[in-house]
Structure formats: C-alpha cells, structure tokens
C-alpha cells in the first residue's frame, strides 16, 4: 500500500507543468495591461494640464482687457477729478458747483457706473456683472460693437457748452487735456503689451507643447495635434480684436480778454490736436479694446457630441502605445495608427458670473476642463 500511495503523489507534477506557464502568461498579461493603462493615464493627465495652461493665456488676456476697458479708467479718473469742483457763479442756468468728474462723464469721456451719478457706490463686491459704461454723449459706445456719432474721428472732452456753463479757465482745460492724454496713452500701452504677449504665446502654442513634453518626456513636437486644433478652432486673433482709438481730441476753456465788457471768452485750439500713434494698430489715442463676442461665445459653447455637458473646444492628442511582451502593436488597432486622449476646455464666467470684455466689462473669466 505504501508504494501505491507514493506513486499517486507524483501525479501532480504533470498538471503543474501546464499550470505554471499559464499562470506566468496571466501575470504578464496583467503587467502589460497595467503598463498600457499607466501610459494612457499619464498622457491624459499631460494633455489636461497642457490645454488648461494654454487656455489660461486667453483667460488672462480677456480679464486684463476687461480691466483696461472699464475698471482702470473709472478708478483713475474718479481719483483724479471727482473732488475737483468747478464753479458756475453768474453763468446761465447755474445750479451750484459741479465736479469735473461729472462734467466729463456726461461727455462720454470715460466709462463709469451709475449714469454719471457721483453718489453711486462702486465697490463691486456682490455684482455678478459690472455695469460700467459710458454716459451722456458717449452712450452709443456701449453697443456691441462700440459705435460713436463721430465715427471715432474726434472726441471733445470739454465742450463749448461746458465752458459756457462753468468757469473752466483755459489753463486748467489745457492741464485736463494733457492729463487725459497721458492716462489713455498709459492704458493703451498696457493693453498693447497684453495683446503682444498673447500673440507671442499663442503663435506656436509653446505653453501647451512644453507642458505636454514636461509631463510625458516625449518629443516636444508630439503635441502638434493639440496645437493645430487650437489654431483651427480659435482662428487668427487679428480678426477677433480691434482697437478703438480717437484720431483727434478737442477741448474748450475760458480765457480772459482784458475787456471790461467781455472779460472772458470761450476758446478752443485753432486745430483740434491730432493724436500721435503710440501703439501699433491704433490710429490715434487708445480708448478701448473691442473683442468680438463670437470668440468668447466659442470658448464656452456647449459641445453637442458630449455626453458629459462639456463646454468649449475639444482637443484630441495622439500618443504611442509602448511595446509589450506579446509583441502586439496596439497602435495599429486605431484609425490614425495611434490611440488618442481627449479633453474639452472652456473659458467663461462660471458660477452665474457674467464675464464680459465689452459692454459691461467684467473680469471674471475662468478656465475649466471637461471630459
């Protein structure tokens, strides 16, 4: 009996010879599947980060342009002119002194909140949309696109009616003119610098390419697929933005005549001063930057083919599957000879914020990515 039992115990060796190789193949299969999944996840994270960083360039430009169009000139001219009171004693229809800020505001010289009412608070703590706009004579510039009765030929910052209604002397009018030009030349330089930076960064989409390269270690030109999709989806920036500039500026003031019968007389420059071109694409004095709403609409439009409620621009990025133990080329299993990862990225005002460049310039643009 002992001999018979010893002979049965050896029978496990034969099935084991078949089982161990099968187990090893199973282990290799799990390993190769995990390796393939790891590569896919790595490229997915890389393209997510790359398009988010790339789209941040556009978000920053839109927010900064909204500040230059609205909040910056409003605050600067508020600080400069709101406490400067102009008397109207013995002038026709005088109802007491009025601030220089209100006089210029009613001429549409700068955007503000509250229809040229100095008492309206301007803290913008709770507003979802910043209703900053031109008042009085400049109301037409609040349209989309901005229009003006003079077709952006000349802006009169202090009119003859202002000089006839208030004691705005000639020297003060000249100082206001010079300060106004300096303020808007500075704003124009800021906006031009922002636009130049966006053009330089978006020309080759270097942020996208370098971010993808840093996270994958592949050739930096591997992200060309995603970069080309940005070009085709957004289009040339030059067709989406437009500088609004005044070619001439005019003003009026009271100058003493030395005559007892007419001691003061209203004067203006012999010729309205022509504004020099200090920045490219702006023929005159910068006034605001117009960004076509079709661009901002496109950057957060619903993606009709998405099952996840995705918004914005769809981006596909091809990547190469690694070699495996079974010597099967997974790349050939896809139509483009490579697998692809996908992400959708959007720019807009989220959480009920109404982000806008113009009108109602509200710098609340954010970047969000979707599946």
Instruction: For residue 1, tell me if it sits in a domain.
Output: no
Is the link from the previous residue into 262 a cis peptide, with omega within 30 of 0? no
* pLDDT in the model for residue 2: 53
Contact yes or no for 168/158 (Cβ under 8 A): yes
| Contact criterion met (CB below 8 Å) for 61 and 195 | yes
**pLDDT reported for residue 324:** 67
Tens of pLDDT, residues 255-290: 888 777 777 889 999 999 999 999 988 999 999 999
pLDDT-flagged residues of the chain (< 70): 1-29, 31-32, 121-122, 149-150, 324-326
Identify the pLDDT of residue 206.
85
| CB 169, CB 253: distance < 8 Å | yes
**pLDDT value of residue 351:** 75
Question: How do residues 281-308 score in pLDDT, each as one tens digit?
Answer: 899 999 999 999 888 888 888 887 777 7
Return the pLDDT at 24: 66
Q: Of 89, 111, 90, which Cα lies nearest the Cα of 98? A: 89
**What CA–CA distance (Å, rounded) separates 180 from 332?**
65
The per-residue pLDDT for 20 is 63
Q: Tell me the residue range of the domain where 149 lies.
A: 27-118+131-370
Instruction: Look at residue 58 and tell me if it is in a domain.
Output: yes
Which pLDDT score, from 0 to 100, does residue 274 have?
95
pLDDT at 272: 93
Contacts of residues 167-173 at CB distance under 8 Å and 24 or more positions apart, as own/partner, are: 167/86, 167/87, 167/88, 167/89, 167/91, 167/254, 168/86, 168/103, 168/252, 168/253, 168/254, 169/253, 169/254, 169/255, 170/253, 170/254, 170/255, 170/267, 171/253, 172/253, 173/251, 173/252, 173/253
Instruction: Tell whether 7 is covered by a domain.
Output: no
Cis peptide before 145 (omega within 30 of 0): yes
Kindly state whether residue 4 falls inside one of the protein's structural domains: no
CA distance 74 to 67: 10
Q: How much is the pLDDT for 326? A: 67
3 state DSSP class of 85 = strand
Pull the structure tokens for residue 174: 């000249």
pTM above 0.95, yes or no: no
What's the confidence (pLDDT) of residue 325?
Answer: 64
Q: What is the pLDDT of residue 330?
A: 74
113-121's contacts with Cβ under 8 Å and 24+ in sequence apart are 113/74, 118/82
Contacts of 49 (CB under 8 A, 6+ apart): 211, 212, 215
User: How confident is the model at residue 103, as a pLDDT?
Assistant: 93
Instruction: Let me know if residue 16 belongs to a domain.
Output: no
């Amino acid at each position: 009996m002992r001999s018979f039992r010893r002979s049965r115990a050896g029978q496990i060796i034969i099935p084991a010879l078949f089982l161990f190789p099968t187990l090893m193949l199973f282990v290799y299969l799990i390993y190769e599947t995990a390796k393939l999944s790891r590569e896919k996840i790595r490229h997915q994270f890389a393209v997510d980060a790359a398009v988010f960083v790339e789209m941040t360039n556009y978000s920053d430009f839109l927010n900064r342009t909204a500040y230059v169009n609205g909040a910056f000139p409003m605050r600067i001219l508020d600080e400069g002119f709101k406490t400067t009171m102009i008397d109207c004693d013995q002038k026709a229809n005088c109802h007491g002194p009025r601030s220089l800020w209100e006089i210029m505001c009613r001429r549409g010289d700068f955007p503000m909140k509250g229809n040229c009412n100095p008492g309206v608070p301007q803290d913008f703590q709770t507003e979802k949309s910043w209703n900053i706009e031109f008042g009085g004579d400049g109301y037409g510039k609040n349209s989309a696109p901005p229009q003006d009765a003079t077709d952006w030929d000349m802006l009169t910052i202090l009119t003859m009616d202002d000089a006839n209604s208030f004691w705005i002397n000639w020297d003060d009018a000249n100082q206001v003119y010079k300060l106004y030009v300096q303020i808007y030349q500075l704003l124009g330089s800021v906006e031009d610098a922002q636009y130049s930076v966006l053009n330089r960064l978006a020309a080759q989409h270097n942020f996208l390419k370098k971010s993808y390269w840093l996270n994958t270690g592949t050739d930096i030109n591997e992200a060309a697929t995603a970069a080309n999709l940005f070009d085709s989806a957004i289009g040339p920036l030059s067709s989406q933005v437009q500088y609004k500039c005044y070619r001439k500026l005019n003003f009026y003031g009271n100058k003493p005549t030395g005559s007892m019968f007419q001691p003061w007389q209203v004067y203006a420059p012999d010729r309205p001063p022509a504004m020099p071109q200090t920045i490219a694409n702006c023929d005159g004095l910068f006034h605001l930057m117009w960004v076509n709403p079709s661009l901002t609409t496109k950057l957060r439009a619903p993606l009709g083919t998405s099952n996840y409620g995705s918004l914005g621009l769809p981006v596909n990025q091809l990547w190469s599957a690694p070699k495996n133990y079974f010597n099967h080329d997974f790349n050939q299993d896809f139509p483009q000879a490579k697998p692809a990862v996908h992400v959708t990225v959007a720019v807009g005002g989220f959480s009920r914020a109404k982000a806008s460049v113009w009108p109602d310039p509200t710098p609340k643009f954010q970047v969000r990515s979707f599946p």
